[in-house]
Amino acid sequence: MGVEDSRELSLFGDNNGGYQRNRSLNFDGFDEIEEEEGDNCRADDDFVVLNSYNVQCEQTEDVWRIELEEDELRHPLVREICRLIQCRSAWNAKLERDMRHLLRSLKPRQVCAVLLSQDDERVALQFFYWADRQWRYRHNPIVYYAMLEILSKTKLCQGAKRVLRLIARRGIECRPEAFGYLMVSYSRAGNLRNAMKVLTLMQKAGVELNLAVCNTAIHVLVRANKLEKALRFFERMQIVGIIPNVVAYNCLIKGYCNVNQVENALQLISDMPSKNCSPDKVSYYTIMSFFCKEKQVKEVRDLMEKMVKESNLFPDMVTYDTLIHILSKHGHADEALEFLQEAEARGFQIDKVGHSAIVHAYCKQGKIDEAKGIVSEMLSKGCNPDVVTYTAVVDGFCRVGKLEQAKKMLQHMYKHGCKPNTVSYTALLTGLCRNGSSLQAREMLTGSEEEFWTPNAITYSAVMNGLRKEGKLSEACDVVKEMISKGFFPNPVEINLIIESLCREGKMNEAKRFLEECLNKGCAVNVVNFTTLIHGYCQNDDLEAALSLLDDMYLSNKHPDAVTYTAIIDALGKNGRIEEATDLTMKMLKKGLLPTPVTYRTVIHRYCQMGKVEDLLKLLEKMLLRQKCKTAYNQVIEKLCSFGNLQEADKLLSRVLKTASRNDANTCNMLLESYLSKGMPLSAYKVACRMFNRNLIPNLKLSDKLSKRLMLEGKSAEADNLMLRFVERGHLSPQCE
């Protein structure tokens, strides 16, 4: 069951029965939105006009909004369906038959519960498609809208578009909210152009715009940093008679804050009462959040006073909780503590979550004493810290290198009836590794069962990286093996770090063995891991092993890339095996791999080093047919100059002077300087003349030096002509000459 089915669903009916809309917005302005918004999804121009005679559903509840009770989510049928879905990798005919039988027993709200219970929205969409294809079963309208609501929280815009098509195909009423869900999904996928085209689809389908969809459009534009277009849309919706509510204003306030135009946001709040729309607390909270990020506490307090005086909205516990969390999040712990104390003075009780936010902020700033003081204050007030609070303090101690204090804090947690969890121990182990005590962290990891805590993948990764950084590679590999045995797999970056460290120490056999074990155990080994090992072999001059591993990559279905080939080509050239390097380069090109700038530099360097200029030029022609490199011949001339092969460099000068760019001028100057250093001023003079003929100006200091050398060798006519060329182009005055 594919998530994104590429087949187009044909829609029945046409638009002959459509009716003229009462409200019509002009969407021409939104065609100006550029295609560069991540427009990977196909445009909706081929979206056939939806059935204009929407069949009215005969249900008593709103199909476009469903709220499930806890009992419905925990219903035995729902849980059994979810269990079978989890076993989908081992599905057979019997399991599918059981699933089909249970599906027909589910009520519509229970089907929605199954969809909402899935951790992965793609799995929910697969189940939705599968159920829709079953015989003697038809999704209730509420299921379609529940699926759309789920997809609106993801980037699966094509899936949402297909569900909307299915709604039209089934003759279900297409509410504006359905289009709003599709619009939000497009927005999350970064596809602003198609998100705004949904409004045009609504017009074609004969679906009336409402306030909710207009609010969604404004939100989408603000989210995409298109504030000016959001303001234009805001004006147009009023022209067609859709009166904005506080949600629309709050979206614009958010947009102003996003572009640091807080004065305009404040003005909008002041203008709202005259528009018969009073601001709510969210309006003020949005601007307060902006002030908190900028540490403008005075402005926050002024806004709180304005909220009371002008809008009759009094600060409550939510207000203070919001300020405390935002200030703590942005590292302003002192200011957050002030608001906490003010809230408690007014009779509000800030819970342990608010206190923990401040503790965490202090710990990140390294102010451990202040953090401990808040923990002690919490205990005295009867607001017992939870494991999150204590873990923040443990992490804070580790950040400042007070490891013994961190260990004591873990014991302190036990005394106050708060058992440390995996995150608590992971913070301590990370601190030990950060401070060079990775072996001690390894011992604690080994004794985790005795301490009744279970390490996770992050725990193993922290210890592994700590051992690797200290050069204890054998122990690091052992941790990876233990990690895999526990069901946790290192990611390709972690695998690569171990391989790179082993190669750096020349332990190639251990590196290869480690890679093979990771591959056999099912870890996500990628081409970069193989390339790192191949590069290690090349650095240790074991080319046969590198070439053998290159063949093994194809056997393991890990196809080498241009970087892999470049590493071996460089090693072959370094060892004088130019013919093999040529064959490998041609093999790379035949496989459709494009040479990178590094590939060009490598090939040019090695061939020029060996003096194989003719072979290099033939190879470059074939490489340039696959991937252009404007400076290829410049690099060849410069390398030939560095190796003293000026005759061959001079032969290639005509290829460089075809474009006459700044890079070409630099290359010519390098050749000119090489001729001078070899005591060949006349050849250097010819290079300068060729530059002038192509309207390139030689380096003035080099030319002055060249002129003096020409005079010393009795070439006064050439010296005078050289300076005269500079005067003609206005780079020297006649007096200077």
Q: pLDDT-derived band of residue 520, with 50, 70 and 90 as boundaries?
A: confident
Residue with tokens 């298109």: 226
Residue-wise pLDDT for 639-686, tens only, equals 999 888 888 888 888 888 877 677 888 888 898 889 888 889 888 888
DSSP letter, residue 55 = P
Residue 68 or residue 521, greater confidence? 521
- SS3 for 69-134 is CHHHHCCHHHHHHHHHHHCHHHCCHHHHHHHHHHHHHCCHHHHHHHHHCCCCHHHHHHHHHHHHCC
Region label for 382, one of left (φ > 0), alpha (ψ between -120 and 50) or beta (otherwise)? left
C-alpha 623/C-alpha 600 separation (Å) is 9
DSSP letter, residue 384 = -
Region label for 611, one of left (φ > 0), alpha (ψ between -120 and 50) or beta (otherwise)? left
- Letter string b/e over residues 442-477, b meaning 16 or more CB atoms within 10 A of that residue's CB: bebbeeeeeeebebebebbbbbbbbbbeeebbebbb
pLDDT given for residue 695 in this prediction: 84
pLDDT given for residue 486 in this prediction: 84
Structure-derived torsion over alpha carbons of residues 599, 605, 611, 617, reported in degrees to the nearest 10? 40
Tokens (6 digits) for 703: 């030319």
pLDDT given for residue 732 in this prediction: 59
Does pLDDT of 731 surpass 80?
no
Residue type, 176: P
DSSP letter, residue 415 = H
Longest dimension (CA), the chain: 107
- Residue count (the chain): 737
Contact 210, 174 (CB under 8 A): no
Q: Average pLDDT of 572-579? A: 91
| Model pTM score | 0.65
Angle between helices 716-728 and 700-712 (to 10 degrees): 160
Q: pLDDT-derived band of residue 37, with 50, 70 and 90 as boundaries?
A: very low
> What distances in angstroms separate CA 655 from CA 399, 400, 630, 632, 659, one per listed residue?
59, 61, 11, 10, 8
Half-sphere exposure of 346 (CA within 13 A, CB side): 13
Centroid of chain to Cα 69: 36
Tokens (6 digits) for 286: 């949005």
Contact 128, 163 (CB under 8 A): yes
Contact 221, 190 (CB under 8 A): no
Contacts of 650 (CB under 8 A, 6+ apart): 671, 683, 687
C-alpha 604/C-alpha 501 separation (Å) is 30
Vertex 146: Cα angle to 142 and 151 (nearest 5): 150
Residue with tokens 């590292």: 331
> What distances in angstroms separate CA 393 from CA 190, 215, 402, 539, one per listed residue?
39, 43, 11, 45
Q: pLDDT-derived band of residue 548, with 50, 70 and 90 as boundaries?
A: very high
Tokens (6 digits) for 152: 């609106």
Contact 458, 426 (CB under 8 A): yes
Three-state SS at 327: helix
Contact 687, 672 (CB under 8 A): yes
Q: pLDDT-derived band of residue 585, with 50, 70 and 90 as boundaries?
A: very high
Q: pLDDT-derived band of residue 266, with 50, 70 and 90 as boundaries?
A: very high
Q: pLDDT-derived band of residue 51, with 50, 70 and 90 as boundaries?
A: very low
Half-sphere exposure of 556 (CA within 13 A, CB side): 23
pLDDT given for residue 232 in this prediction: 94
Does pLDDT of 23 surpass 50?
no
Percentage above 70 pLDDT, the chain: 89
pLDDT given for residue 65 in this prediction: 62
C-alpha 455/C-alpha 443 separation (Å) is 13
Does pLDDT of 700 surpass 90?
no
Q: Name the phi and psi angles at 91, rounded to 5.
A: -65, 145
Spatial CA neighbour of 606 closest among 558, 632, 570: 570
Percentage above 90 pLDDT, the chain: 31
DSSP letter, residue 15 = S
pLDDT given for residue 231 in this prediction: 94
pLDDT given for residue 699 in this prediction: 86
Q: Is the dihedral angle over the CA atoms 97, 103, 104, 106 positive or is it negative?
A: positive
Give the chain's radius of gyration (CA, Å).
35
C-alpha 2/C-alpha 447 separation (Å) is 45
pLDDT given for residue 44 in this prediction: 39
Quick count: other Cβ atoms within 10 Å of Cβ 341?
Answer: 11
Does pLDDT of 10 surpass 50?
no
pLDDT given for residue 61 in this prediction: 45
Q: Name the phi and psi angles at 309, rounded to 5.
A: -70, -45
DSSP letter, residue 369 = H
Q: Average pLDDT of 270-294? A: 91
Does pLDDT of 480 surpass 60?
yes
> What distances in angstroms separate CA 193 from CA 34, 196, 197, 203, 682, one per listed residue?
7, 5, 6, 16, 63
C-alpha 675/C-alpha 637 separation (Å) is 13
Among 55-64, 351-360, 661-670, 705-714, the range scoring the smallest mean pLDDT is: 55-64
C-alpha 636/C-alpha 639 separation (Å) is 5
Does pLDDT of 17 surpass 50?
no
C-alpha 286/C-alpha 275 separation (Å) is 20
Q: Average pLDDT of 325-353? A: 89
Average pLDDT, the chain: 84
C-alpha 112/C-alpha 147 separation (Å) is 8
Residue-wise pLDDT for 126-179, tens only, equals 999 999 888 888 899 999 999 999 999 999 999 999 999 999 888 888 888 899
